[in-house]
Amino acid sequence: MKTVEITKAKLPLANYTKDVIKEPVIVTIRGKPVAALVSIENADIETASLSNNPQFLALIERSRIRQKEKGGISTKEMRHRLQKAKHS
């Protein structure tokens, strides 16, 4: 893993992003990690953005808790309901 102190990061961002294919690049301030440049595979911009969005992550967590507490419906049942609504 490569580490770059922000005060010493003089190269353009493009130069550092080339390194992430091989390994993550950790950006530090006074030795403390503050950011990471990592390779993203098989994801579009929306997926990458949502995976770090606190509101979206909270929504997913609430949904998981609700499903665990109250149960849910199967994929088969959901498809049935969607088909039924489509023909209504």
Q: Which domain holds residue 59?
A: 42-88
* pLDDT at residue number 40: 86
Domain count, the chain: 2
CA angle 52, 57, 61 (to 5 degrees): 155
- Average the pLDDT over 14-26 and give the result: 89
Judged on CB neighbours under 10 Å (0-12, 13-18, 19+), 16 is: middle
* pLDDT at residue number 43: 83
- Whether residues 54 and 80 share a domain: the answer is yes
Residue 5 pLDDT > 80, yes or no?
A: yes
- Whether residues 32 and 63 share a domain: the answer is no
pTM higher than the cut 0.85: no
Residue 88 pLDDT > 80, yes or no?
A: no
- Whether residues 50 and 83 share a domain: the answer is yes
